[in-house]
Chain A
Amino acid sequence: MSGEAQSLTRRAALTVMAAGGAAWAFWPRRSRFQQAPAGRKEVVYWEKWTDQEGAAAQRMVDWFNQSQDRIWVTKLTVADIGAKAMVAIGGGDPPDIVGLWSYSIPQYAEAGALLAVDTLAGAGHLNESYYTPAVWQLLTHEGKQWAGVSTCHSLALYYNRAMFREAGIDRPPRTIAELDACAERLTRRESDGRLRVCGFHQAIPDWWVYFWPFVFGGDLYEPGARGTPGRATVASAEGIKAFEWVSRTAERLGRVPGRAFASSFNRSIGSADDPFFNARVPMIMQGPWTANFARVYAPGLEYAAAAMPVDEAVYDEASPITLIEADVLMVPKGSPNAEAAAEFLLFTQRRDVHERLAMEQCKPSGLRSVSERFESEHPHPYIALHNDLMQSSRARIQPRTRAWKQYNDMMIAAFEAVWGGADVGAELRRVEARVQEVIDLSAERLRRRREARLGDPGEGPQRRGAATTQEVEAQRWSGAATQEGA
């Protein structure tokens, strides 16, 4: 026993020493994360992008770091950035500036967790006339601007021209009926019923499964009038029509093989095995970065882009339907170097900076005024389409409510249920009712929170005064925003 014990201790000690030796060997001589040069104030910047897009953002940061000699921005890539940012900002360990999605703004703004851009010195020119209408809506909440735009995009239909030619299709589909007809002509099956080529699939990629009500003229959310919470509207007639179309598509492709086909591409969107680049899916709704990825992974691909087809009843060539999303930069309250971070934020809003990042990530501009160079030198062959879509009067945005993340998760599940054959109306009504409950509850609690902030005797006179101003301002603005929305 004791011999055994001794040899065990000896072996454990040896292993620990070996591990220590290995750790020593691997010990970083210099951390990969660049240190700020002495004498410069370091701004920690969290961003979600990796790979090419991350490298483009890093070049923007480098540009800023070279443009002056007081501030040094360090960009960190953060996984699961939505949850991490909320936890870090709520936990009092915030980065100086963070790159999130525009849907986070309502929640952060209502919680008072952001510095309003309007209050920053030198931000006077950033206003409604500076950004495209949809982007301006995405950056604001209750009438205040809470973030800068880093990049933005519109969604379009990308199609494989070579496969269209082979199938004898001479132009991209404009309506859903045409889309279905094209898809049917392009779809090929293996002998065992599995899909080899799928003309079009609403869940490839599966990032915007909530999009389909838009193309039938529906919407997901109706902002509330003054003082009343907004309404979830996915179970409207248009929404039901849209998901019945999804269900019909599933039926036609085969519910099981259709799902298996989509889930086999889960991880490969935007890589060499992307189904669009592999000619497995000749029509795909995608963002403008597709051009960037195509250049790298499928240089020979013959493709083109067009506006997303819509239901015949709502077709209007002059006003295509699309979804606009924005990646935003915000300075959290409690940011240790807020002033320096704000300076970086303002730098990123300069037209030349914004356009350069947009060009490197192959995206359209979020600003009203676009330089001549931007369209002529842009690497995206169809950037004009994406720019037009940015300006379209029927450009949709994600619901501006703090319940959106939950809404989105529920839409994903509802989509999967509908694909599996669930009753469309019941499914959507369940989502709508639950989302509405969350919206109403959070509106009610926001109201109580604001009342408490106004009447809290524990807060000092100065802070109370500040809260009051903010509150009054917020109320004044929420009225204005509603009118604008209506």
Chain B
Amino acid sequence: MSNGSGTRRWGGGAGRWMLTALMLVVGLMFLAPLFWMFATSLKPAAETLSRDVGVLPRFADESGVAPGKLSGAYAEKLGSQAAANYSAAFDNPVTDFRLYIRNTALVSVLSVAGMVLSSAIAAYGFSRIKWRGRDSLFLVVLATMMIPFTVIMAPQYLLYKHMGWIGTFAPLWVPAWFGGAFTVFLLRQFFLGIPRELDEAAQLDGCSHWGSFWRIILPLAKPALAVAALLQFIASWNDFLAPLVFINQQKQYTLMMGLALYERQHGGTPWNHVMAASFITMAPVLVLFLFTQRALIEGVATQGLKE
């Protein structure tokens, strides 16, 4: 979109290259923890506790001789070590990651569906209909973003207890069906940008609010809906606090609970296995990010825009 102007402004001299180097260093520093975690998940256990901290696995033998990083022997060792670590993490006797993947997928899909639908409806009410009190109520929406979960976790627990939801998945996905402040906010910003004439024309043709919502706004808002769905999927996939407080039975653990259990088991879990388990739990989100990073980042950036 702005490649033309970008290329034009590259002209500068040494200062510019130094800035580039600085920026790349910053980027690498942000990537380093993840990369190191990934490299650790490929190492043999002994190397994870070794004092000479290396980034890539070495696979030194008894005499301390390590194969060259580009040699076939290295690739072979890397492959077998990776397979060993990942299968040890995946098929460990304590946690059943297969089951947790299913639980997490179920909860995430249900909450994405509910969140997008309900928030879109509410966002329509906050953007495409003019009514008294709308904007002050919207301030309340924004204010709710400020209530920390840790403040309401205890009373919410009591509430779910009264409703008989403890012991079910309901606390993890039903609230999403009542929309969420952030998603409402995101969609409202987008809906406000759609020209008024479109649904006014439709309403003159006898179309109800529901009709213009369903046939005009939603189709136009597909990109925003996709971003909202992505963000909600990632949020509920990664959620740790809600399952921590509301889920008791191990049969209902989500991946994040399973990962915490696996890491904290008695006697400690070897770092290489824990890191492999972490990457197993993160894989779907990382893959999603690879495919959609641009839209995701743009979507998040709109948060800070003034009206």
| A binding-site residues for B, Cβ under 8 Å | 4-5, 8-9, 11-12, 14-15, 18-19, 22-23, 26-28, 31-33, 44, 48-51, 53-55, 76-80, 84, 87-88, 90-93, 95, 267-271, 273, 293
If A12-B292, A28-B102, A49-B266 touch, whether A5 touches B245 (CB-CB below 8 Å) is no
If A5-B223, A78-B250 touch, whether A12 touches B291 (CB-CB below 8 Å) is yes
B89 shortest CB reach to chain A, Å: 14
B178 within 8 A of A: no
Chain A residue numbers with a CB within 8 Å of B167 are 88, 91-93
A95 shortest CB reach to chain B, Å: 8
User: Which of the candidate stretches B31-39, B91-99, B209-217 sits at the interface with the other chain?
Assistant: B91-99
27 contacts between A and B (CB under 8 A): A5-B223, A5-B226, A8-B292, A11-B292, A12-B230, A12-B291, A19-B284, A19-B288, A26-B98, A27-B98, A28-B102, A31-B96, A32-B98, A32-B99, A48-B266, A51-B93, A51-B265, A51-B267, A53-B266, A84-B248, A87-B166, A88-B166, A88-B167, A90-B161, A93-B167, A267-B268, A268-B267
Complex Cα–Cα for A92 and B157 (A): 11
Complex Cα–Cα for A9 and B221 (A): 11
Chain A residue numbers with a CB within 8 Å of B94 are 50-51, 54, 77
| B binding-site residues for A, Cβ under 8 Å | 49, 93-94, 96, 98-99, 101-102, 105, 157, 160-161, 164, 166-167, 222-223, 226, 229-230, 245, 248-251, 257, 260-261, 264-268, 284, 287-288, 291-292, 295
Chain A residue numbers with a CB within 8 Å of B267 are 50-51, 268-271, 293
If A76-B251, A87-B157, A88-B248 touch, whether A50 touches B223 (CB-CB below 8 Å) is no
Complex Cα–Cα for A33 and B99 (A): 10
- Across the interface, do B292 and A51 meet the contact criterion of CB distance under 8 Å? no
- Across the interface, do B161 and A23 meet the contact criterion of CB distance under 8 Å? no
Chain B residue numbers with a CB within 8 Å of A5 are 222-223, 226
Complex Cα–Cα for A32 and B97 (A): 10
- Across the interface, do B287 and A28 meet the contact criterion of CB distance under 8 Å? no
Chain B residue numbers with a CB within 8 Å of A268 are 267-268
Chain B residue numbers with a CB within 8 Å of A11 are 291-292
List of 9 A-B pairs having minimum Cβ-Cβ separation, nearest first = A93-B167, A267-B268, A91-B166, A5-B223, A270-B267, A79-B261, A88-B248, A32-B96, A28-B98
- Across the interface, do A9 and B223 meet the contact criterion of CB distance under 8 Å? yes
Residue in B96, B166, B248, B249 with the greatest tally of chain A CB atoms within 10 Å: B248
B74 shortest CB reach to chain A, Å: 25
If A31-B99, A267-B268 touch, whether A77 touches B229 (CB-CB below 8 Å) is no
Chain A residue numbers with a CB within 8 Å of B288 are 12, 15, 19
Closest residue on chain A to residue B271 by CB atoms = A267
Closest residue on chain B to residue A84 by CB atoms = B248
Complex Cα–Cα for A90 and B162 (A): 11
Chain B residue numbers with a CB within 8 Å of A77 are 94, 250, 261
Closest residue on chain A to residue B257 by CB atoms = A79
Complex Cα–Cα for A54 and B101 (A): 23
If A15-B292, A23-B105, A27-B102 touch, whether A33 touches B161 (CB-CB below 8 Å) is no
Looking at the complex, which one of A22, A88, A273 makes contact with B284 (CB distance below 8 Å)?
A22
- Across the interface, do B223 and A4 meet the contact criterion of CB distance under 8 Å? yes
- Across the interface, do B230 and A79 meet the contact criterion of CB distance under 8 Å? no
Chain A residue numbers with a CB within 8 Å of B161 are 90-92
Chain B residue numbers with a CB within 8 Å of A273 are 49
Number of A-B contacts (CB under 8 A): 121
- Across the interface, do A8 and B223 meet the contact criterion of CB distance under 8 Å? yes
Chain B residue numbers with a CB within 8 Å of A53 are 266
B48 shortest CB reach to chain A, Å: 10
- Across the interface, do A12 and B229 meet the contact criterion of CB distance under 8 Å? yes
B1 shortest CB reach to chain A, Å: 9
- Across the interface, do B264 and A79 meet the contact criterion of CB distance under 8 Å? yes
- Across the interface, do B287 and A18 meet the contact criterion of CB distance under 8 Å? yes
Looking at the complex, which one of A14, A26, A78, A267 makes contact with B101 (CB distance below 8 Å)?
A26
- Across the interface, do A76 and B287 meet the contact criterion of CB distance under 8 Å? no
Chain A residue numbers with a CB within 8 Å of B295 are 4, 8
B98 shortest CB reach to chain A, Å: 4
Chain B residue numbers with a CB within 8 Å of A8 are 223, 226, 292, 295
- Across the interface, do A51 and B266 meet the contact criterion of CB distance under 8 Å? yes
B33 shortest CB reach to chain A, Å: 19
Complex Cα–Cα for A248 and B110 (A): 59
Complex Cα–Cα for A332 and B287 (A): 44
Complex Cα–Cα for A80 and B267 (A): 14
Complex Cα–Cα for A140 and B6 (A): 76
Complex Cα–Cα for A14 and B248 (A): 34
- Across the interface, do B99 and A91 meet the contact criterion of CB distance under 8 Å? no
Looking at the complex, which one of A9, A15, A92, A95 makes contact with B166 (CB distance below 8 Å)?
A92
Chain B residue numbers with a CB within 8 Å of A12 are 226, 229-230, 288, 291-292
Complex Cα–Cα for A297 and B140 (A): 59
Complex Cα–Cα for A88 and B245 (A): 10
Closest residue on chain B to residue A50 by CB atoms = B265
If A27-B102, A78-B250, A87-B245 touch, whether A9 touches B157 (CB-CB below 8 Å) is no
Chain B residue numbers with a CB within 8 Å of A269 are 267-268
Complex Cα–Cα for A12 and B289 (A): 10
- Across the interface, do A33 and B266 meet the contact criterion of CB distance under 8 Å? no
Complex Cα–Cα for A93 and B249 (A): 9
If A50-B94, A79-B260, A79-B261 touch, whether A15 touches B250 (CB-CB below 8 Å) is no
Closest residue on chain B to residue A11 by CB atoms = B291
Closest residue on chain A to residue B223 by CB atoms = A5
Chain B residue numbers with a CB within 8 Å of A84 are 248
B168 shortest CB reach to chain A, Å: 9
- Across the interface, do A33 and B251 meet the contact criterion of CB distance under 8 Å? yes
Complex Cα–Cα for A28 and B93 (A): 15
Closest residue on chain A to residue B161 by CB atoms = A91
Chain A residue numbers with a CB within 8 Å of B284 are 19, 22
Complex Cα–Cα for A90 and B226 (A): 40
Complex Cα–Cα for A268 and B266 (A): 9
- Across the interface, do B166 and A23 meet the contact criterion of CB distance under 8 Å? no
B112 shortest CB reach to chain A, Å: 9
Complex Cα–Cα for A11 and B267 (A): 43
B135 shortest CB reach to chain A, Å: 28
If A23-B105, A87-B245, A92-B164 touch, whether A76 touches B265 (CB-CB below 8 Å) is no
